Amino acid sequence: MLMLVWLLLAASSTVGAREAGPSQWRDAMDAFATQDQAHPPPPHAVLFIGSSSFNYWHTLAQDFPGIPVINRGFGGSVIADSTYYADRIVWPYRPRLIVMYAGDNDIAEGATPDRVLAAFQAFVTKARERLPGVPVVCVSIKPSVARWALWPQMHEANEKIRAWAATQHEVRYVDIGPAMLDAQGKPRPELFIADGLHMTPAGYALWITALKPVLAEYGFRTR
């Protein structure tokens, strides 16, 4: 059963054509439901949701020992996909904190920075329909080797989200970009696997360092 779940999630991590829209993730949602039935997720946890950078974070629970976490990253997704499936992968968990990483694929598929901001705003609104006041932490779109040509648009989207988050109650922005760039301002190759997009443990180590103090502010401290 667990192997079936893994296969369904792995299959969903391939970036496919967007013609199908959110419907292309139905198998992934069903796999999450099966996983929840086999291993009920912890209550009042930190929900990590978004695209493949979370989906590939296989050591998430070990990297935040003592903190209840739920990983609902599904690779290839855009922000609107998480919003669409909030009734399946946000509301039922009643998380105390939501951490989102998405927007990378939005830009890669042609979304403008303004559209990325609007999509993130829509996600926050949707999440709070049933979870009013739940804090939402946005991890900035990362610079990567594979998508370096798109970095100007990604950086602009990041800055728009940063500015909006500063005006909101319980919306936080965590900028992981500077730590992932070298002295010449280019992505550090050692932080990425062969595809130049997804991260090595060294890349995730930087994210852990950036996120731990933020989680601690909300009462989630590692052992």
Please report the domains of the chain, with CATH numbers, ordered by start residue.
Answer: 43-217 (3.40.50.1110)
Confidence (pTM): 0.91
Numbers of helices and strands, H then E, in the chain: 10, 5
SS3 content of the chain, % helix, strand, coil (to 5): 50, 10, 35
Residue 21's pLDDT band (cuts 50, 70, 90): confident
Please determine, for residue 9, whether its predicted confidence score (pLDDT) is greater than 60: no
Average pLDDT of the chain to the nearest whole number = 92
Higher pLDDT among residues 185 and 5, named by residue = 185
Give the list of residues 6+ apart from residue 42 with CB closer than 8 angstroms, or none: 68, 69, 70
Greatest C-alpha distance within the chain:
48
Separation CA 45–CA 58 (nearest Å): 17
Please determine, for residue 27, whether its predicted confidence score (pLDDT) is greater than 80: yes
Separation CA 90–CA 196 (nearest Å): 30
Residue 156's pLDDT band (cuts 50, 70, 90): very high
| pLDDT average, residue stretch 138-167 | 98
Q: For 57-96, how does the pLDDT look when each residue is reduced to its tens digit (9 = 90+)?
A: 999 999 999 999 999 999 899 999 999 999 999 999 999 9
| pLDDT average, residue stretch 92-119 | 98
Name the percent of the chain lying above pLDDT 90. 90
Residue 150's pLDDT band (cuts 50, 70, 90): very high
Please determine, for residue 1, whether its predicted confidence score (pLDDT) is greater than 50: no
pLDDT for 151 equals: 98
pLDDT for 19 equals: 56
Separation CA 163–CA 10 (nearest Å): 35
